[in-house]
Chains A and B, each alone.
Chain A
Amino acid sequence: MNIIEINNLVKIYDDRKSVPVTAINGIDLNFKESEFTTIVGPSGSGKTTLLNMLGGLDEPTSGKILIDGVDLSQLKSREVIDFRMRNIGFVFQAYNLIPVLTALENVEFIMHLQGKPKAERLQRAKDLLVQVGLEDRMNARPGKLSGGQQQRVAVARALASKPKFILADEPTANLDSKSAETLLDIMERLNHEEKITFIFSTHDARVVAKAHRVITVEDGQVKSDEDYPEH
């Protein structure tokens, strides 16, 4: 079953000061539940723009994105934020944890926004941190964690709201190879065991090697879309 449907998506950046730039030029794509997909392509190909629009962070110039049947362009700004909170998890290249909160509190953060009761929040945040192998670093603030550990907290945070899918923009770009491997193993395990959908935008061959589906984007269009079920 498709959880994301993209129909004739176009994104043109036009600040009226310089020449308009077409970042996405008529993309049609579908994503199913439990996919482990990477979007690859050279810099400026439109990967991040596509990911931003999938996450409701940016609005398309034309075309539609339906997530679980919901057309994001029909929602008000506040409703899009609320929709993101309940349905989409984000893992950013630069971890982007809240520096004044501990690992546990960072994971709890979204559940706070969702208004979950304290006991439930704490239990789930602890479980998630155990799943990403950070049971002994729960009370450490991001400044006291390594890059790999921070990114694992970010994954736990993305999972906390029980999203329909997780968007990961270059999640391994700032990590050493060992940390990157560990992180990918965790995400792959979550995909296998908990059927969590991951959509990556990446340059990293290690991520591509683990993906079940690789979409290549060039000049704002889908160049190829291949499945690798044997992964």
Chain B
Amino acid sequence: MEQKHPYRYKLHFLRLVPCAFYLNLAWRNIWRNKRRSLITISSILFAVFFSVVMRGFQLGSYKNMVDNVVQAYTGYIQVFDRKFQSDKIIENTILMDDRIISEIEKNKNVTMALPRLESFALASSGNQTKGVLVLGTDPDKDDQLTHLSRRLVQGTFLHNSDSAAIVSERLAKYLKVSIGDTLVLISQGFHGAGAAGKFLVKGILRFPSPDLDNKMVYLPLVQAQQFFSAENRVTSISLNLKNSNDLSRTVKKLQQKLGTQYDVRSWDTILVELKQQIGSDSAGGLIMLGMLYLIIGFGVFGTVQMMTAERRREFGVVVAVGMQKRRLGTILALEMLIMGLIGIAAGILLSIPVVWWGHVHPITLTGKMAESIIQYGMEPIMPTAWEAGYVINQTLVAMLIVFAAVILPVWNVTRLRVTKALRS
């Protein structure tokens, strides 16, 4: 008898969507070999735990470095005259007016705007002379930004009304000046005007960075402006931010507001070397994480392969009795997905307290490592970063590994030959 009507069943997509029964089946399949499933889940758990904690410490250390440098000197953002970066002379400075400060302070992410005037000068005391960096600033505001007064080792801190200077410790030693001595500064001022002045040494600061400790002279801003004949002029305006993660958006907004006459820069474009150092170190960390994931990934892949190989006959049976191969593949993927989610959730739950603890109680480094870090002007601590971004990233990577591990077994199931599977 020849067939009269071609036989066609409608295979609705929705019938491939797993319902509660298939979720239940996947769940039971996971626990049919508890030990193996627990090993798989543990692999994922440890991958997530170690990656989150490792990355947390790494990013926390970078943030600490940045905060140290930024808070010690630059601020998160600096505003310059457009020409200053290409030609750092006192002529390319900003003429301060009410508009610029009010425009900056309108930005809700800016907590402080600190105008500074800096230039080089020759410092002299007795027979000693040395090239120094003169930094005119608002001492009280600078203290809020950089905690400058904490570096004071002798004398008292500056105030705006003072006609005095505070100098760094090594410079003071070189020039053989102490509290109450007079420091003579000679330089070239605005438009080539001669600059010469005498300043009482009011305090001595200690900088961990030898470079800074050898050259810093702080003056009240007005004194510095008078010294350089640059009344109302500043070389930069340093800004502190409420949320440093919103750095690039704040830079963009400020640049739009202030216009092309000004150059608004974030710390990472000012401190390019630090940025590069962090970048290369971070890449090394990512390679380590990649290796960790690779090892864990192969472990998970091996387990999934084993899990599917030993159930080949069962797969043959369910396809023989009428289960579509794609549906079977979906159940298999669900099994892996459930194990992956349990492992990831457990990994995050375990890592978050560690990350929080590391953030609140950073590891304090000691010995030579601490000394070398202090030399660079940084606190010898290793905090963790308390932010969601990298945790989400590690979660996504772990999910990707789970998906990658399940692709081949699912592909094999969709190409299953029932008679062969039944004989296995």
Contacts and interface: CB of A to CB of B under 8 A. Distances in A.
A binds B: yes
Interface of A: 2, 5, 52, 55, 57-58, 66, 69-71, 74-75, 77-79, 81-86, 90, 92, 94, 96, 98-101, 109-110, 112-115, 157-158, 161
B18 to A, nearest CB: 11
Contacts of B3: 66, 69-71, 74
A57 B320 contact: yes
A70 B2 CA distance: 8
Nearest to B414: A77
A101 B323 contact: no
Task: Give 4 nearest A-B pairs by CB, closest first.
Answer: A85-B322, A100-B28, A96-B317, A70-B7
B314 A81 contact: no
Contacts of A85: 321-323
A79 B320 contact: no
Interface of B: 1-9, 11, 15, 21, 25, 28-29, 32, 313-314, 317-325, 418-419, 422
B322 A84 contact: yes
Given A57-B419, A69-B1, A96-B317, A81 B25 contact: no
B321 to A, nearest CB: 6
B321 A157 contact: yes
B322 A96 contact: no
B34 to A, nearest CB: 12
B421 to A, nearest CB: 10
Nearest to A96: B317
B330 to A, nearest CB: 13
A69 B4 contact: yes
Contact of B324 (A71, A78, A94, A161): A78
Contacts, number: 88
B321 A109 contact: yes
Nearest to B29: A100
Nearest to B325: A81
A98 B314 contact: yes
A101 B313 CA distance: 16
Given A66-B1, A112-B21, A78 B318 contact: no
A90 B321 contact: yes
A179 to B, nearest CB: 20
A174 to B, nearest CB: 14
A52 B419 contact: yes
A75 B422 contact: no
Contact of A55 (B6, B29, B318, B320): B320
Given A57-B422, A69-B4, A74-B3, A84 B9 contact: no
Nearest to A114: B322
A115 B15 contact: yes
Contacts of B322: 81-82, 84-86, 110, 113-114, 161
Q: Which of A100, A110, A115, A158 has the most chain B CB atoms closer than 10 A to its own CB?
A: A100
Contact of A82 (B5, B11, B422): B11
A2 B6 CA distance: 18
15 contacts: A69-B4, A71-B2, A78-B11, A81-B319, A83-B7, A83-B9, A84-B321, A90-B320, A92-B422, A96-B317, A98-B318, A99-B32, A101-B28, A110-B322, A113-B321
